[in-house]
Amino acid sequence: MKKARIIQGGTVVTAGSVSVADIRIEDGVIAAIGRSLDATGAETVDAAGLYVFPGGIDPHTHLDMPFGGTVTADDFESGTIAAAFGGTTTILDFCLTERGRPLGDAVAAWHAKAEGKAVIDYGFHLMVADAGEQALAELPELIEREGITSLKVFMAYKNVFQADDGTLYRTLQLAREEGALVMVHAENGDVIERLVSEALERGDTEPIWHALTRPPQLEGEATGRAAELAGLAGAPLYVVHVTCAEAVERIAAARARGLRVYGETCPQYLTLDISALERPDFEGAKYVWSPPLREAWHQTALWNALSSGTLQALGSDQCSFHFKGQKELGRGDFSKIPNGGPTIEDRFSLLFSEGVAKGRIDLQRFVELSATNAAKLFGLFPRKGTIAVGSDADLVLFDPSATRTLSARDHHLRVDYSAFEGMEVQGEPVSVLVRGEFVVRDKQFVGQAGSGRYLKRSRFGLGGSLALPAVPIGGSPS
């Protein structure tokens, strides 16, 4: 047995409680929680004055991902180190597949990207581009063998990742049969393709046209369509990176009808707006995401949806490309700017600072949104996403009174800029443990490449002894 550890006197916060307590860790697992635990034979760690949160779960990352003829600046090593500094101890990364190629090959390739590199635990979602015979035959076995219980369908990126509605519907049917959760990138890719061609024909080539050719109506329409198809198939649905009131309304309406429709948003949509794409000297390219940044008023709709339970999670959608040499591929043609940005490190802190510190959400909701709900939706609860006896000792010791300014000067990603440069945040992860071992201790990296473990996950709704509630997460339909 490894030496026991006791995290002493921190304010332990879960989705259900806040209390000052000690946490005893044995063999990577929480062995006891209580006041004044006996520390004989254990290493003690003083957490007085700090919050102790469950390690963050980021359900949406793209590390070492090919896109638009290039590959993301951050891989499973730099990406997970940055995640750990930011308070995240588990990520779920998207395993991309190619039409006509065995899905199993893609899964093997994603294992090769992560093994020996990840410093925190990780699992994969599996992309379905085409629900042909080969894919449908492979999926049940992969779900069982790999514990990949979430499937991703892109409704946009025409001629690249986009699947048609038939594939989405067939994937939903299979997911219902197999106990998997289908995730959608909900934008109408066909209409976007038309709007992009028209803009380029007019000579509108600047980054701002990325946003103007992907209006919120097309995200709302696709979100509503996916929700209807999920309802028809009797399957649950998770909408990734929700950006706008139009999509929130579709999710709320589906949930009000009792459909199991869930959604996430991302820190960039809560804190940045469309004006960033107009920054001079092509700097707007740094802020090219799909769906795009919206007018600032949409942020209120997103915060309301997070606080009311219409949206259940915050994913980073980490997908970083250097400004120099990568984002610059789109000079003269906005459609060639690689989509995505660096967000993995700041997800947790921005939610605390903009959410809890500014009074938009309480501590319980913070824990639900940063960890617990993702664990429940993606088959990791109660092993991950909470602080309970028997759970993995994935913990964040967090100083709520620290203040700092986000900057590429001191982030831990490789990418050459910060999406949140100059933003003041309140609160900071001080130390981070994964399965009882420090990965970050007193703001220093003490982890090891390759120490992160691959996570086989339970099927949807089978979250372990604490199963997913029968009613939608977040309480009554809103």
Ligand X SMILES: NC(=O)NCCC(=O)O
Tell me the residue nearest to Zn ion as measured from the CB: 185
Closest separation between CB of residue 147 and ligand X, Å? 22
* Closest residue by Cα to residue 91 from 67, 66, 56: 56
Single out the residue of 185, 250, 294, 365 in contact with Zn ion (rule: CB under 5 A): 185
H/E stretch holding 430 reads strand 424-434
**273 is in the binding site of which of Zn ion, ligand X, none (Cβ under 5 to 8 A by kind)?**
none
Residues 6+ apart with CB under 8 A from 411: 82, 85, 342, 345, 346, 418
Nearest residue (CB) to ligand X, 219 versus 368: 219
Of the pair 319, 406, the CB lying nearest ligand X is at: 319
Helix (H, G, I), strand (E, B) or coil at 63: coil
Out of 339, 349, 372, 391, point to the residue binding ligand X (CB under 6 A).
339
Both tokens of 309, joined, read 């339970």
Distance separating alpha carbons of residues 216 and 202, to the nearest angstrom: 22
Shortest distance in whole angstroms from residue 265 CB to ligand X = 12
The residue among 63 and 367 lying less far from ligand X, judged by its C-beta, is 63
Task: Give the CA count within 13 Å in the CB-facing half-sphere of 408.
Answer: 13
Three-class secondary structure of residue 363 per DSSP: helix
Q: How far apart are CA 98 and CA 85, in angstroms?
A: 33
> Cα separation of 456 and 145, whole Å?
8
Instruction: Compare residues 8 and 268 and give the one whose CB is closer to ligand X.
Output: 268
Please list, in sequence order, all residues whose beta carbon lies within 8 angstroms of the beta carbon of residue 136, skipping any fewer than 6 positions away: 170, 174
Our CB check for Zn ion shows the closer of 8 and 162 to be 162
Quote the least distance from Cβ 319 to ligand X, whole Å.
4
User: Within positions 158 to 187, which residues make up the interface with ligand X, using CB under 6 A?
Assistant: 185
Q: Of Zn ion, ligand X, none, which one does residue 339 interact with (CB within 5 to 8 Å by kind)?
A: ligand X
Residue 171 binds what, of ligand X, Zn ion, none (CB under 5 to 8 Å, by partner type)?
none
Q: Of 310 and 343, which has the nearer Cβ to ligand X? A: 343
Site for Zn ion in 406-435 (CB under 5 A): none
How many residues touch ligand X (CB under 6 A)? 9
> Rounded to an integer, what distance in angstroms lies between the CA atom of residue 422 and that of residue 388?
37
Residue 348 contact among Zn ion, ligand X, none, beta carbon within 5 to 8 Å by kind = none
Report, in Å, the least distance between residue 279 CB and ligand X: 17
Kindly state whether residue 373 participates in binding ligand X, applying the rule CB under 6 A: no
The total of other beta-carbon atoms located within 10 Å of residue 470's CB is 6
Binding mask 266-295 toward ligand X (x if CB under 6 A, else -) reads: -----------------------xx-----
By residue count, the chain amounts to: 478
Give the list of residues 6+ apart from residue 191 with CB closer than 8 angstroms, or none.
218
Tokens of 312: 């259940």
Pairing of strands 29-34, 18-26: antiparallel
In 3D space, the residue among 395, 303, 405 whose CA is nearest the CA of residue 351 turns out to be 303
Query: Judged by CB, which is closer to ligand X: 347, or 435?
Result: 347
Cβ nearer to ligand X, comparing 94 with 303: 94
Residues found near Zn ion in the complex (CB under 5 A) = 185, 317
Binding site for ligand X (CB under 6 A): 62, 185, 241, 289-290, 317, 319, 339-340
